[in-house]
Amino acid sequence: MKRYLSLVATVLVPLIFFSTADAKRRPNEQQSTPIPLSVESSGGTSPQETARFLAGMPLNPRSPLAPLTQNTAWLEHAAYFEEAFARLAHGKFARLRLWQDAYLPESRERMPVVYYMFSGPDFLYVDQFFPNAAVYVMCGKEPLGLAPDPLKMDIGYLGTALRNLQNTMKSSLTATYFITQDMKVDLQQQQLTGTIPILYVFLARADKTIKEVSFVSLDRGGGLHESAPGRGGTPGVRISYSDNQSGREQKLYYFTTDISDGGINSNPGFLKFCEQQGPGASFLKSSSYLMFENGFSRVRDFLLNRSKLIVQDDSGIPIANFDRDKWNLRLFGTYVGPIELFRQHYQPKLSELFAQSNPPEFGIGFGYQWDYHKSNLVVAEKN
């Protein structure tokens, strides 16, 4: 019950930037001086403090951000997120943990890497399904934005900025996915821009301690370089953090990139970076049925070739693309077909498999199906 339920009374000491990754740096990472994403203010504000502030969580009274937590707008913001994340923790995520215990305990094992394509900033669900991965690789077309710095915000617009953050995240906290059209508007607001503030909130509420945050970019060969935003290549952010329950060191990458076949042909760096991470697990949710189209065959083939375990709803990889001689498929919930917007991607073969196997109930609203009576999950394990 501790995950995502973290209005804790403990006092956090402001963190000092340091790199835990240097000794274990992957071969494709360039040895260069880290460039912190969030340059500390004169008061010494760290990304961890900023993350807790944006997540509506208590701060060390000596933090430069502490006076802002007395603001009525922040108090209302904190109450909103506390209620929203507590509802998730006691409701949907409590049921998910029971389901994992019964049907997918291996998802809690230490994974070398988890790929979450078409994720946007949705760290919330990949952390629930695969909480112990060493590395998470996420991507989307949503921009990174700027390093959030509440001390530089106009105090008169604090309430507006925090409400915008709430609105951006509202659908993910209630309907399990981000509404892309809403994000195009909300993520362009000037006070808190891009996906990074959202990742900060999810990390803080997942009971993580952020250790280091750096802007990075990928060259065409998949080489990772620490560089300031807008310096060319495929832009991304690397967040190194530790889990406060296990003490385990973990790392999250988010890249803004186009992973259609055309996008990969024009800029192959992201997929080459993924190839260098090695085999692992993959997670797919609310991915707009993009891999049903011919224009996304390269990322679909990558996931099928490099994944030992794939957890997805019916919007991920079409069931017809799984070679049954190579993959063991387990089904959960109910398949009623896509929502009206994606009705053209109905899968008769998947419907037949659900009818034949009489699968166990999944028990939570997931993907595009808010009603848990209509949601489904496919677990594919490579033989």
| Residue 5 in this model has a pLDDT that exceeds 50 | no
pLDDT at 123: 96
| Residue 268 in this model has a pLDDT that exceeds 70 | yes
d(CA 224, CA 334) in angstroms, rounded, equals 42
Look at residues 151, 115, 156 and name the one whose alpha carbon lies nearest to residue 307.
115
Give, for 114, the enclosing helix (H) or strand (E): strand 114-116
Contact 80, 166 (CB under 8 A): yes
Q: Which residues contact 147 (CB under 8 A, 6 or more apart)?
A: 37, 38, 39, 196, 213
Cα 289 to chain centroid distance, Å, stands at 18
pTM: 0.86
d(CA 89, CA 2) in angstroms, rounded, equals 8
pLDDT digits (tens, 9 = 90+) for 38-82: 444 334 689 999 999 999 999 999 999 999 999 999 999 999 999
State the average pLDDT over residues 75-95.
94
State the average pLDDT over residues 110-136.
96
Contact 74, 56 (CB under 8 A): yes
Residue 172's CB: how many other CB atoms inside 10 A? 21
Residue 25's CB: how many other CB atoms inside 10 A? 12
pLDDT at 32: 37
Work out the angle at residue 282's Cα, subtended by the Cα atoms of residues 271 and 338, and round it to the nearest 5 degrees. 105
pLDDT at 248: 95
d(CA 171, CA 88) in angstroms, rounded, equals 13
pLDDT at 175: 54
Contact 313, 368 (CB under 8 A): yes
| Residue 6 in this model has a pLDDT that exceeds 90 | no
3-state secondary structure of 72: helix
pLDDT digits (tens, 9 = 90+) for 182-228: 444 444 444 678 899 999 999 999 999 999 999 999 999 999 999 87
Average pLDDT over the chain, rounded to an integer: 85
| Residue 341 in this model has a pLDDT that exceeds 70 | yes
What is the identity of the amino acid at 21?
A: A
Residue 186's CB: how many other CB atoms inside 10 A? 20
Mean pLDDT check: name the lowest of 13-27, 45-59, 97-111, 297-311. 13-27
